[in-house]
Amino acid sequence: MAQIEETAALTHLEWDTPLFQTAIAQYEQAVPFADISEGVAERLRYPERAVMLSVPVRLDDERRVVFAGYRVQHSSVLGPTKGGIRYDTEVTLGECAALAVWMTWKCALLKLPYGGAKGGVRCNPRQMSQAELERLTRRFTSELLPVIGPQEDIPAPDMATNEQTMAWMMDTYSMQIGHAVPEIVTGKPISIGGSVFRHEATGAGVVMVIARACERLGWNLAEQRCVVQGFGNVGGIAAHELVARGATVIAVSDVSGGILDEAGLEIDAMLDFAKANGSLEAWESGRRITNEELLELPCDVLVLA
pLDDT tens string 175-213: 999 999 999 999 999 999 999 988 899 999 999 999 999
Q: Is residue 33 part of a domain?
A: no
Indicate whether 20 belongs to any domain: no
Say yes or no: 114 and 78 in one domain. yes
> 158 and 300: one domain?
no
Residue 10 or residue 239, greater confidence: 239
Task: Report angle CA 284, 303, 167 to the nearest 5 degrees.
Answer: 80
Confirm whether 32 is domain-assigned.
no
Domain endpoint, select from 196, 225, 258: 196
Same domain assignment for residues 288 and 168: no
Nearest to 155 by CA among 84, 50, 78, 68: 84
Is pLDDT above 90 for 7? no
State the average pLDDT over residues 205-226: 97
Contact at 8 Å (CB) between 141 and 177?
Answer: no
Report the percent of the chain where pLDDT is more than 90: 91
Residue 255 resides in a domain: yes
64 and 90 belong to one structural domain: yes
Tell which of 168, 196, 224 closes a domain. 196
In this predicted structure, the answer to whether residue 239 has a pLDDT above a threshold of 70 is yes
- 191 and 80 assigned to the same domain: yes
Q: Beta strands of 148-238 (E only): which ranges? A: 153-157, 225-229
Q: Is 190 helix (H, G, I), strand (E, B) or coil?
A: helix
pLDDT of amino acid 9: 52
Same domain (yes/no): 139, 121: yes
CATH number, position 213: 3.40.50.720
The band of 10, judged by pLDDT with boundaries at 50, 70 and 90, is low
Quick one: which of 200, 205, 210 has its CA closest to 236? 200
The whole-number average pLDDT for the span 232-248 is 96
If you average pLDDT over residues 169-173, what whole number do you get?
Answer: 98
Structural domains counted in the chain = 2
pLDDT at 199: 84
In a domain, 252, yes or no: yes
Mean pLDDT in residue range 242-264: 96
One domain for residues 188 and 145: yes
Q: What is the pLDDT of residue 12?
A: 72
Same domain assignment for residues 177 and 191: yes
Confidence of residue 305 (pLDDT cuts 50, 70, 90): confident
Three-state DSSP class for 90? coil
Whether residue 210 contacts residue 221, with contact meaning beta carbons closer than 8 Å, is answered with yes
How does the average pLDDT of the chain come out, rounded? 95
Q: How far is CA 210 from CA 201, 213, 223, 300, in A?
A: 14, 5, 13, 11
Encode pLDDT of 135-158 as tens digits: 999 999 999 999 999 999 999 999
Instruction: Convert the pLDDT of each residue in 257-293 to its tens digit.
Output: 999 999 999 999 999 999 999 899 999 999 999 999 9
Residues with active-site annotation: 118
- Please, which residues bridge with residue 66 across strands? 56
Q: Are 220 and 191 members of one domain? A: no
Based on the fold, state whether residues 190 and 50 are members of the same structural domain.
yes
Q: How would DSSP label each residue in 282-299?
A: T--SSEEE-HHHHHTS--
C-alpha–C-alpha distance, residues 104 and 99, integer Å = 9
d(CA 137, CA 132): 9
130 and 243, same structural domain? no
Domain C-terminal end among 143, 161, 196: 196
Domain that holds residue 71: 46-196
Mean pLDDT of 12-41: 94
